[in-house]
Structure 1
Amino acid sequence: MLDFEYAKALVEVVLDTTCSEKEREVRLECLTPIFGRANAYLKKGFLPNVVEAFFVRKMEGLPLVSTKQDMQDFLKVSTPHYFGGKFTVSNIPYYSEEEELLLWSETSLRGPLITAGYERYMELFKKILPQKAEQINF
């Protein structure tokens, strides 16, 4: 399904008549790195539905990309900020909670999370995978 979502996004960018040629070029430059990142998550064994949700979420923000600076912001990994004893996210239109969940999963494999990290991880897990969270009984 990820390939389908990539093809869909590519067609939408190419056929978009509301943007300039420069905007189209910048948006096309965004597609390959995000698709590559999604494939890397799949190769690491993450749930395909979460990886696809990450890709789709990123593609929702693609029409907002019109400059090289926007592209740099779009391509940033969706990481939270630690402030006031908890993790928060900036109000960025390109942010993906699904990607943040993938990053928390990967981080948790490397060692125990601090309390604030664990709480954020569980918050995202329950939000993005409610049925799995119910099965696990979080």
Structure 2
Amino acid sequence: MDIKDRTEFYFSVHSFGLLWLFPNAHSLPPVQNNDVLANISLKATEAIKKVRHTQFDFGSTSTVLYEAGGTSMDWAYDHAGIKKAFTMELEPSYRVPDWKKGFMLPPREIPKAVEEAWEGLKAAVA
């Protein structure tokens, strides 16, 4: 049994950016099930927003962020055949003035980020 037959979703969790991303990261053309991934992303980001009004942007990595080769999300999608693959970029926003601080979330902020991520994950797989 292939991994694609045992796995419906793939999630890669990162800091930081307040982004809910899906393939393609490595190039601009949309993936075949782009609409499905966008709908799942919309549900997930709406669930996240209900927690503390945090707004996550969503879309394909190559259009929302930048083109990036070698992502585990693209590998899961393209090579493992997991057609519901996502990357979550958690707190804080990618708009922080000093990007280095984005990778050092204060410990008191971690529970908030976890709660938001959990609500997004639950909505995505529902």
Higher relative contact order (CA closer than 8 Å, sequence separation 6+): 2
Q: TM-score, normalised by structure 2?
A: 0.31
Q: TM-score, normalised by structure 1?
A: 0.29
Larger strand proportion, structure 1 or 2?
2
Compare CA radii of gyration and give the structure with the larger one.
1
Larger helix proportion, structure 1 or 2?
1
